[in-house]
Amino acid sequence: MKKIFEAPKSLKENLFHYCPGCGHSIIHRLVAEVIDELGIQERTIGVPPAGCAVLAYNYFDVDTGEAPHGRALAVATGLKRVLKDHVVFTYQGDGDIAAIGTAESIHAANRGEKVTAIFVNNGTYGMTGGQMAPTTLPGMGSTTTPGGRDVVRDGQPLDLTQMLGQAKGSVFLERVSVATPKHIRRAKKAIKKAFQVQLDGLGFALVEVLSPCPTNWKMDPVAAYEWTDKEMTKIFPLGVIKDITGYDKD
Amino acid sequence: MPKQLMRGSHVLGEAAVRAGCRYYFGYPITPQNEVPEYMSGRLIQVGGTFVQAESELASINMVIGAAMAGARVMTTSSSPGISLMQEGLSYLAGLELPAVIANVVRGGPGLGNIAPAQSDYFQATRGGGHGDYRTIVLAPASCQELCDLTIKAFDLADKYRNPVMIMGDGMMGQMMEPVEFPEPIDPADLPVKDWTLTGAKGRPSRVILSLLLAPKVLEDHNFKLVRKYDAVVRNETDWEEYMLEDARQVVVAYGTAARIAKGAIKRVREMGLKVGLLRPKTLWPFPEKPLKELSRVVRQLLVFEMSAGQMVEDVKMAVEGQAQVHLYGRPGGVIPTPDEVAHQISHYYYQAGLMDRDQQGERLGGAA
């Protein structure tokens, strides 16, 4: 019998601990598939975040090293500067990369660190129980914005990926989503390209993935996916934010 | 190899390079800016990597990454910058990663000043970051020792897979002394580390982490660290003894303060006072055992430190009440002269009635 579908080699055979409907499981799989397809499993090093994906080392079957909260891109810088021929990627949530780690993110991008960042944006602090994130939408409820995010009191959502576009060392930045099968296919393409940028030594690449958090959004998974697709994209529109790779447009 | 006249900050950098350090991540802060400046040029010559980070937070985390990859790596900073690195130090200890961190201590707290001080002793020896961990802390007192201990720091870091801190101060960074450097080590000749992240080629993938959610598992990890720290105490505690053979009073001082204390002891020795010095070369592990033994034969210890009094607590713990312990502490970057310290030594010496009968007569006669 011909096998037409199987688990990615770069994922361990562990059951995901993520909540039902969480986007991490999909995004993990996409990253693992890309690592397989590029044939880089044996020279890839991952830096998981603090937050819900802190246990990513249980899933990715590549060398992984833990970073303190927000510092993944600094740790990745140290790794990549030593292991120049290896592939280093960070996997970070919105709190990690766009709040506590904003400085590390901007400066890694500005130095053009030849690493790949996967930025999972679900608009909330998932692991700590649904507090406001820098990416929480205006009016969106959270445990620390019980009446909804008030932009006068709490500020506007932070568009980190746009900010990184200003950094001269960033080469490829795209915002994708896992809300629909079509978007998932697009997301995989973007992730693959972000790894290719690193393989080609061009500079800093990041893919922001809009991802649902049914548990903390207090929605059922279907509603959460619809909300990701309809509401999040109003504030965080999908598409290529920066591409100076010189690759043929796809 | 002939001796070279060199500034302390440059000695630190050169010694690191000769120890096989090829990665330096740092952020400028006075009074240690000469170290990154030196490393930025020197590492190019040897094919190494220098990155000026955006902050001390980033620096120490770049150190974490390079250490994970198996490299000999160093950062340097000064007091406020070291405060920002404390989270990273805790992680280095928890992740069991080797790295060398030099603190060129300045006066604190807060922004304080840029004068030489020793007021980061608690922070260095107690951990500073969160959790049950220890940092090995080396305290050189000359440029030659700065060279030797920097090289030793890299060896200790690798041996114990633990961060090692070098405690200097602004004076040590700026002063120039002749130094004899050892032959450089080629990093390629260093023993291969079997735990690093280098890609899972031909082996199962590896994880370096400190996240141990199950309390018992974390407790086991912490007890494993304790056993490691016990071994460090047994094997690496180091100190210098100076004129202790017949001493009735012992001065305890380290680093720059110890140099001043030596000058003071020479002066009081000329007056016939039997005073010696015990100089910790490792602040952690602290030389408790020799101090405890000394306290059985010497009635009085004078701790001299350039802080409001921090190491004095370790001395008191070591002697367990068997001897008097006095403090002469000068915080804020004040550097007392040997004469001032000599005055303190003789003050306590006479007060405790430690002088000989003839000295006593002299003193009493003088008083009359």
Confidence of residue B53 (pLDDT cuts 50, 70, 90): very high
- For residue B356, pLDDT over 80 is answered with no
Q: Are B247 and B268 spatial neighbours (Cβ–Cβ below 8 Å)?
A: no
Q: pLDDT over 70 for what percent of chain B?
A: 97
Determine which of A36, A43, A44, A45 to mutate to test the interface with B (most B C-beta atoms within 10 Å). Answer: A45
DSSP H helical segments within A10-144, as ranges? 24-38, 72-82, 94-95, 102-110
Pairing, β A239-243 against β A124-125:
unpaired
Q: Mapping DSSP to helix (H, G, I), strand (E, B) and coil, where does residue A174 land?
A: strand
CA distance A70 to A94: 10
Stretch B132-158: mean pLDDT, rounded?
98
Instruction: Tell me the pLDDT tens digit for each residue of A239-249.
Output: 999 999 999 86
Please indicate, yes or no, whether the overall pTM of this predicted structure exceeds 0.90. yes
- For residue A129, pLDDT over 50 is answered with yes
Question: A54 to chain B: which residues are within 8 Å by CB?
Answer: 211
Task: State the smallest CA–CA distance between residue A100 and chain B in angstroms.
Answer: 11
What's the pLDDT at A223? 98
Pairing, β A63-65 against β A239-243:
unpaired
DSSP assignments along B41-61, one per residue: HHHHHTT-EEEE-SSHHHHHH
What's the pLDDT at B363? 54
In sign, the C-alpha dihedral spanning A138, A143, A147, A153 is negative
Tell me if A77 and B51 make a contact (CB, 8 A cut-off): yes
Tell me if B65 and A65 make a contact (CB, 8 A cut-off): yes
What's the pLDDT at B368? 36
- For residue B367, pLDDT over 60 is answered with no
Tell me if B211 and A66 make a contact (CB, 8 A cut-off): yes
CATH topology of domain A24-243: Rossmann fold (3.40.50)
What's the pLDDT at B2? 87
Chains A, B: CB contacts within 8 A come to: 134
Task: State the smallest CA–CA distance between residue B84 and chain A in angstroms.
Answer: 13
What's the pLDDT at B354? 87
Question: B88 to chain A: which residues are within 8 Å by CB?
Answer: 68, 71
Task: State the smallest CA–CA distance between residue B128 and chain A in angstroms.
Answer: 16
Instruction: Tell me the pLDDT tens digit for each residue of A156-195.
Output: 999 999 999 999 999 999 999 999 999 999 999 999 999 9
Q: Are B117 and B106 spatial neighbours (Cβ–Cβ below 8 Å)?
A: yes
- For residue A155, pLDDT over 80 is answered with yes
Confidence of residue B362 (pLDDT cuts 50, 70, 90): low
Tell me if A78 and B66 make a contact (CB, 8 A cut-off): yes
Determine which of A75, A88, A107, A198 to mutate to test the interface with B (most B C-beta atoms within 10 Å). Answer: A75
Determine which of B55, B56, B64, B211 to mutate to test the interface with A (most A C-beta atoms within 10 Å). Answer: B64
B125-129: long-range contacts, CB 8 A cutoff, minimum separation 24? B125/B283, B125/B284, B125/B286, B125/B314, B127/B89, B127/B90, B128/B82, B128/B83, B128/B86, B128/B89, B128/B90, B129/B86, B129/B87, B129/B88, B129/B89, B129/B90, B129/B91, B129/B93
Segments of B183-231 assigned E as strands: 207-208
Q: How many residues does chain A have?
A: 250
Q: Which two tokens stand for residue B115?
A: 């004068």
CA distance B39 to A40: 33
Question: B214 to chain A: which residues are within 8 Å by CB?
Answer: none
Whether ipTM exceeds 0.95? yes
Stretch A222-230: mean pLDDT, rounded?
98
Minimal Cβ distance to B61: which of A45, A78, A86: A78
Q: pLDDT over 90 for what percent of chain A?
A: 98
Query: Where in chain A are the domains?
Result: 24-243
- For residue B72, pLDDT over 50 is answered with yes
CA distance A238 to A235: 10
Tell me if A42 and B202 make a contact (CB, 8 A cut-off): yes
Q: pLDDT over 70 for what percent of chain A?
A: 99
Chain B residues touching chain A at CB-CB below 8 Å: 23, 25, 49, 51, 53-55, 57-59, 61-71, 73, 87-88, 91, 95, 197-202, 205-211
Instruction: Tell me the pLDDT tens digit for each residue of B231-281.
Output: 999 999 999 999 999 999 999 999 999 999 999 999 999 999 999 999 999
Q: Are A27 and B185 spatial neighbours (Cβ–Cβ below 8 Å)?
A: no
Pairing, β A87-93 against β A44-47:
parallel
